[in-house]
Amino acid sequence: MKSLSIVLALMTLPGVAMPGAALAHNPEWDAPSEPFRIAGNVYSVGTEGIGVYLITSPAGHILLDGATQKGAAVVEANIKALGFKLRDVKYIIETHAHFDHVGGIAKLKADTGAAFVASAADRKALESGAHDGDNENGVGHFPAIKVDRVIGDGERLVLDGIYLKAHLTPGHTKGCTSWTTDVQEKGVTYSVLFYCSASVAGNALVGNKAHPDIVADYRKSFATFKSLKPDIPLTNHPSQVAMAEKRKAQKAGKANAFVDREALPKLVAEQEKAFEAELKRQQAHK
């Protein structure tokens, strides 16, 4: 009882975040969600709160991210509901090694037989099954995943007519990776960005022994994001680009409902402002 009293007392102190405090599981992350085609050969197959994307071709498919450990079942059901076979998924790729986005990949990898491709800087976290970096909310754990192929900045993953270009955008995690591709929709080519993230999410920005270059990494990534001009920005938390509203518009008959050239600049500006404010806060408390 004494130890419980100490924990409760600590939780009342301003600025104190207990390990795992921000890792509380949002029910939307596991909840079923209708799969649908976004544009060209890109489909949404994720849960209600987590974006997972399937990029298809006659020779096989690429799956981007895997949702939570429980969410993997939703992803598999959605792939099947669209008429695709799990065994036709040839590659699985990730944006970043957090449990809500890669928790389901170990199961998806086993059930599809796909090769798993990731950045070198996220490899340690992925293969150990734990977030790599100092974070005030503690360590988020997930089933470990063997990385079959490491991909570097500017490299392309190619499968038949699919290509995905990797853009290393570290900060949110050491190996945070965004991806770009082009799709064809009624004879028009649209650029697509699968955005990693640039939110702080509890990261230690000052004195981060596990990620000493974290501030420089964030700022470099903000510059990278500002250089990208996607027609269709897609995020691993769909609400960040109002995916639900866009899906409603699509179902109502709006052509190219997911084309939104203003969404990325707005999101990046918001996350950069929040980053700079959090950096100042942490510097003031050191």
19-46: per-residue pLDDT in tens? 333 456 799 999 999 999 999 999 999 9
In the numeric block, which tokens belong to residue 168?
Answer: 């290393």
pLDDT in tens, 194-241: 999 999 999 999 999 999 999 999 999 999 999 999 999 999 999 999
Q: How confident is the model at residue 14 (pLDDT cuts 50, 70, 90)?
A: very low
Q: What's the rounded Cα separation, in Å, for the pair 1 and 93?
A: 46
Residue 180's Cβ-count burial label (10 Å; 0-12, 13-18, 19+) is: middle
The pairing of strands 53-55 and 61-64 is: antiparallel
Residue-wise pLDDT tens digits, 90-127: 999 999 999 999 999 999 999 999 999 999 999 999 99
